[in-house]
Amino acid sequence: MTQRLTHKVALVTGGAGGLGQAICARLAAEGARVVVADIDHTKAQQVAANIGSGAMAVALDVTLENSWRDGLLAVTAKWGGLDILVNNAGYLKPATIEDATLHDWQTTQRINGDGVFLGCKFGVAAMKAKGGVILNLSSTMGLRGTAKHPAYSASKAAVRLLTQSVAKHCGEQGYKIRVVAILPGAVETDMLRQNIPKGMTEEAYFKQVRAHHPIGRLGQPSDIANAVAFLASDQASFITGSDFIVDGGSSV
Amino acid sequence: MRGKVAIITGGTAGIGRATAELMVERGAKVVITGRDMARAKNIQPMVDAGAAIFIQQDTTVEATWSTVIAATLESFGRIDILVNNAGRIIVKPLDQLSHEDMKIMVAANLDSTFLGMRSVWPHMVAQGGGAIINVSALMGERTVGIGLAYSAAKGAQQALSKTAALEGAANNIRVNSVLPGLIWSDGWQRMAGPEPDKTKANLGPTIPIKRVGEPGEIARAIAFLASDEARYITGIELAIDGGKSAT
């Protein structure tokens, strides 16, 4: 396949995580220069090194304004600007409304909510002059609440509507920035493994989750990376403000 | 898309034609159907190149489907993709909408999709999978106060798509809907009055992205959903509308 993102600069938050790594590798394969942004700088450097000279690592805590400012300065200094932002960093701790503490709730909203808010804010500022694409990782849990994940579901619903608001604002202002929410179902990553209930084996848990996916398998990071590559490219030139679901039919 | 075979209904103009051209460009073979024989000249270059065949079809008539399936298998040997793109729109207020109008909307937008899916289904099952893309409309999800028969039929078409997605999953048949917003298709151009460019310019500001879409922009999303890149995507309704559904 021809490369769709040559000369583009893409930043991926949570770029050193399971999903983030796959997205970074895929964007690089499409010809983009990739910024692996992660709170774990060492791991981000490893991921960037694996990709090669077309990648750089930045330390980024998505919940801190200063961290965004510094991270984007480093990107601009090296590559002159930003064209694609993937707000992928996220936090999941399963806990029902009875078990979740206020701290659990606030941590979830801070990383999933504040993190994407700041990403959009800094992303729009960085891209408004010449245009770009912002992709926000929401979740099918942001469509329907689950008993075990009230904080996560609420935070991911917030991401969807934030996406719509930012998409509309960019339209109103005449910025050539598209903003799309990507809604994965259960993807086989470390985050999903952290979700395994106590006393249950990974195999039993995955089997249970698989049963909710009509397509008969869990999502793979590459499934989501495929969607990111498409939406980040000009192939998706009329798609903005939309929910883009990649979930093997689980939310039907 | 080399080696893939696609059937595209309503494929001689607008979104259908753009989809056919894109898939051919990417190496697929396409079977293009349309009601109007005269419009087949639009796709003649693809036919001449050996990448496409044209079959005259009224998608609402069950018997035409066996002809389409037989011709597809005879020419290209398999069926990987079905794009149910043919559709019609009637916009009248309720008190002027006849029962006949309602039946036309259901036949053209719902029956045709049902017949198309049912016709390719056994072949896709036997082949080990396939991808179906049903072209619906934003109006199937968001009513806009006009075109109620069209909205209702498109809404039903989306429900049909999602149920088929669930049924098809076990057989690796993916079914997705695309929901185009305001696309500058041949249909719109015909309705655009004496100064189409002016109409187009006036419609732009009603859309968040500040312009109407082009058929190729829907075609590219259809091609993505039809491809193996989208192998984990089924049962979705993808708005391709420049942000309109977010308003």
Strand B52-56 with B81-84, pairing? unpaired
A238/B214 touch (CB, cutoff 8 Å), yes or no: yes
Q: Which residue of chain A is at minimal alpha-carbon distance from B236?
A: A245
Q: What is the pLDDT along chain B (247 residues), one digit of tens a residue?
A: 999 999 999 999 999 999 999 999 999 999 999 999 999 999 999 999 999 999 999 999 999 999 999 999 999 999 999 999 999 999 999 999 999 999 999 999 999 999 999 999 999 999 999 999 999 999 998 888 889 999 999 999 999 999 999 999 999 999 999 999 999 988 788 888 888 889 999 999 999 999 999 999 999 999 999 999 999 999 999 999 999 987 7
CA dihedral A114, A116, A121, A125 (to 10 degrees): 150
Determine the pLDDT at residue A127: 97
Residue A179 φ then ψ, to 5°: -130, 120
Helices (H), A199-238: 202-210, 221-232
Chain B touched by A144 (CB under 8 Å): no
Active-site residue (options: B76, B121, B150, B184): B150
**For residue A102, pLDDT beyond 90:** yes
**Cβ–Cβ pairs < 8 A, chains A and B:** 110
CA distance B215 to B184: 7
B234/A167 touch (CB, cutoff 8 Å), yes or no: no
Chain A touched by B169 (CB under 8 Å): yes
pTM of the shown model: 0.94
B240/A227 touch (CB, cutoff 8 Å), yes or no: no
CA distance A112 to A87: 9
Work out the end-to-end distance of chain B between its first and last CA atoms, rounded to an integer number of angstroms: 35
Structure tokens at A7: 């000369």
CA distance B79 to B29: 10
Please, which pLDDT band fits residue A242 given cuts at 50, 70 and 90?
very high
CA distance A162 to A159: 5
Half-sphere exposure of A70 (CA within 13 A, CB side): 14
Q: Is B5 helix (H, G, I), strand (E, B) or coil?
A: strand
Measure Cα distances from A83 to A126, A243, B241 in Å: 8, 21, 22
Chain A touched by B19 (CB under 8 Å): no
Determine the pLDDT at residue A197: 87
Q: What is the mean pLDDT of residues A141-148?
A: 94
CA distance A144 to A201: 26
Asked if B232 is an active-site residue, the reply is: no
**Which residue in the set A216, A230, A242 is minimally distant from B224, CB to CB?**
A230
**Which residue in the set A167, A216, A236 is minimally distant from B169, CB to CB?**
A216
Chain A interface, best mutation among B175, B209, B231, by max A CB count within 10 A:
B209
Determine the pLDDT at residue A1: 55
Determine the pLDDT at residue A231: 98
Chain B touched by A246 (CB under 8 Å): yes
Between A73 and A197, whose confidence is greater?
A73
Please, which pLDDT band fits residue A217 given cuts at 50, 70 and 90?
very high
**Which residue in the set A229, A241, A252 is minimally distant from B208, CB to CB?**
A241
CA distance B39 to B36: 6
**For residue A168, pLDDT beyond 60:** yes
Instruction: Report the DSSP beta bridge partners of residue A184.
Output: A246
Q: At a CB cut-off of 8 Å and minimum separation 6, what does B188 contact?
A: B182, B212
Chain A touched by B143 (CB under 8 Å): no
Please, which pLDDT band fits residue A50 given cuts at 50, 70 and 90?
very high
Q: What angle do CA B87, B91, B92 make, to 5 degrees?
A: 145
Q: Packing angle between helix A115-127 and helix A150-173, nearest 10 degrees?
A: 20
Residue pLDDT, tens place only, A27-38: 999 999 999 999
Mean pLDDT over each residue of chain A, to the nearest integer = 96
CA distance A36 to B191: 49
Determine the pLDDT at residue B49: 96
Determine the pLDDT at residue B188: 81
Q: Which residues of A touch B231 (CB under 8 A)?
A: 223
Q: What angle do CA B135, B91, B39 make, to 5 degrees?
A: 55
Q: Which residue of chain A is at minimal alpha-carbon distance from B171?
A: A215
DSSP assignment of B112-151, as one string? HHHHHHHHHHHHHHHHT-EEEEEE--GGGTS--SS-HHHH
For residue A41, how many other CB atoms are within 10 A of its CB?
Answer: 15
Determine the pLDDT at residue B45: 95
